[in-house]
Amino acid sequence: MTEGYRSVFRPGLFAGQVVVVTGGGSGIGRCTAHELAALGAHVVLLGRKLDKLQHAASEIVADGGRCTFHSCDIRDEQAVQDVVQAIVLALGRIDGLVNNAGGQYITPLEKISAKGWDAVVATNLTGGFLLARECYLQSMQANGGAIVNMVADIWGSMPGMGHSGAARAGMVSFTETAALEWAKSGVRVNAVAPGYIASSGMDHYPPEAGAMLKEMRQTVPAGRFGNEAEASAGIVFLLSPAAAFISGSVLRIDGARPQVRMGWGQVAAPADAQQRAAVKPFDGFHRYQAPRLFDGSTQ
């Protein structure tokens, strides 16, 4: 490919740094890994499916970046300890962690089993804690670093995904606590909270959810879905030196969606709002693939 990632950040910003991205084989994680690699980082992808990790890594290498990958179930404490040790032994240190891995399914609270609840909490909360703790203990405690955790639009609840909402709220609290406890080691800990992002994660929802997903943009004041590059830009900023005095914060990337209140009427921006720079999509990811649900269009 002749075209590369169109990042707004300066070239070489992360040169010489090692950044771990969990869930890096698809969606926001894949996009973020591409951007970090394009900015000079050696990106280490973690996930459960080797084929997805290998594919994303091959894309990054083909684009001129540096990338390695490891299969790891982040819910397994020993596996997490071992993979972080392997990364530090191979590359010397870990400068940044993007705790992106997660997942959930749509179901009302009364139908969630204990097993289903535990699985979602383990993936969206416990796994992120384990990765952050090990990166801190095995590298960042001595060398400093930055961690960005993934949460979600939990403000005003997450109906239909109560297990995920509870886990993400827990991750917000963990972010704040870790920012306080680990500041003495020169470690910053923040989170990003994407709203409705047109990412490959949407392809995992059942077909019957398609109509609801397509209509969600009507509840976003910006009048559209966000994209992976817009989420990645927030993550990269929080990892960057420009965020040196930001820790314990949550950056919402949601087009003002949580501000919507009943009775306000039509909140989505009008069709001609694309002429306004504030709501025009940032088209940064040169390998972006829209969810199959939208057939290539998110507008």
pLDDT digits (tens, 9 = 90+) for 231-282: 999 999 999 999 999 999 999 999 988 888 766 656 666 555 555 556 677 8
CATH topology of domain 18-205+225-257: Rossmann fold (3.40.50)
Give me 104's structure tokens: 């959930």
Q: Give the whole-angstrom CA distance, residue 79 versus residue 184.
A: 27
Check residue 221 and give its pLDDT: 86
Higher pLDDT, 218 or 11: 11
CA proximity to 257, closest of 151, 105, 150, 155: 155
Summarize the confidence of residues 166-176 as an average pLDDT: 97
Q: What SS3 string covers 233-280? A: HHHHHHHCHHHCCCCCCEEEECCCHHHCCCCCCCCCCCHHHHHCCCCC
Question: What pTM value is reported for the model?
Answer: 0.89
The answer to whether residue 37 scores a pLDDT higher than 90 is: yes
Q: Is the pLDDT of residue 81 over 60?
A: yes
> What mean pLDDT, rounded, does the chain reach?
89
The per-residue pLDDT for 285 is 77
The domain ranges of the chain are 18-205+225-257
What are the tens digits of pLDDT across the range 43-56?
A: 999 999 999 999 99
Q: 158 vs 261, which has greater pLDDT?
A: 158
Quote the CA–CA distance of 40 and 91 in Å, as a whole number: 15
Give the H or E element holding residue 66.
Answer: strand 66-71
Residues 102, 159, 193, 28, CA torsion sign: positive
Rounded (10°) angle between helices 77-91 and 127-135:
30
* DSSP per-residue string spanning 91-104: HS---EEEE-----
Q: Rounded to whole angstroms, how far apart are CA atoms 38 and 3? A: 11
Q: Residue range 30-37: average pLDDT? A: 98
Place 102 in a pLDDT band, splitting at 50, 70 and 90: confident
CB 17 within 8 A of CB 37: no
Is pLDDT above 70 for 296?
no
Q: For the chain, give me the number of helices (H) and strands (E)?
A: 9, 7
